[in-house]
Copies of this chain bind each other. A is one copy, B any other.
């Protein structure tokens, strides 16, 4: 396979190099055709490499950057004032062609703003979007936008559908992924004007458009791609996280109620482990910033090394499958078809 080079923003996320470097080492060890450029404070990265008994080599290279974007820093401020941040330098490496992709667990807003500023959007794409993947009854569902665009036009929603379908085509090897438009009812008359017009555009676009879907369809494997604006997508995602956390807390509470319930909990451990494995959010880590001239993947800020590894894997796969070209092709084709 062709060599892929990924630039890792080692300082991003809640845990920094401890997680990002450990995951990078595991990733290169598992893939001889992968090289990683570790970007960040070289001291901190050096310490993390040393802790793993490793040093720089063919597959692991360190690029020092003296600044760090804070997790709560406004994107505009990061863009203006942190030109030597690990995030910015990692994205610059994609721009210069030294790296094929960038992965960061840092500040989402700053990552999107910086990626957009440095890499630019693909020709024809109005707005980049964030696309994540969620477990569903019979597989997985891709959803976008997850928060980059609070207000969207019908054309932008159409483009999200095109980009999401391109991503599923690349990663899941599905010929013509089905696309659903998130709404509050399946009937055509439901929803606001933006959604109604977007449905009309999608219907005419040549996409494999399923029609309107509702919130529960995200987890029902109804479609491959669910399209919505970033406000709605972000709420749906966070609501899911909150519900899953609450169910976990309530279940633990019930298990710990007394000796008998603890024993019952112990007996069911193998089942619960298998269950958790299936729905483990760590396996779904890595949201793709779509519509850019380059591959950028955002990891959850709280990711551990196991989880961060999935984000790296996502980036590698997107590079190997030529995602940006696929999106460009589809946009040109479908927009020409719709015109």
Interface residues of A (CB under 8 A from B): 72, 74, 135-137, 147, 150-151, 182, 184, 187, 189, 191-192, 214-220, 228, 230-232, 234-247, 249-251, 254-255, 257, 260-261, 263-265, 267-271, 274-275, 278-279
Q: In the complex the two chains form, is B264's CB within 8 Å of A241's CB?
A: no
A274 proximity list for chain B (CB < 8 A) = 254, 257, 261
Q: In the complex the two chains form, is A235's CB within 8 Å of B192's CB?
A: no
Which of B72, B184, B278 is A150 in contact with, Cβ under 8 Å? B184
Q: In the complex the two chains form, is A220's CB within 8 Å of B246's CB?
A: yes
Which of B235, B261, B264, B268 is A236 in contact with, Cβ under 8 Å? B235
20 additional A-B pairs beyond A135-B246, A150-B192, A251-B275, beta carbons within 8 Å, are A136-B246, A147-B184, A150-B184, A184-B235, A214-B238, A216-B242, A218-B239, A219-B243, A235-B236, A240-B240, A250-B279, A251-B271, A254-B271, A254-B275, A261-B271, A261-B274, A264-B267, A264-B271, A265-B268, A265-B271
Q: In the complex the two chains form, is A219's CB within 8 Å of B235's CB?
A: no
Instruction: State A219–B235 Cα separation when bound (angstroms).
Output: 12
Number of this chain's copies in the assembly equals: 2
Q: In the complex the two chains form, is B243's CB within 8 Å of A220's CB?
A: no
Instruction: State A189–B268 Cα separation when bound (angstroms).
Output: 46
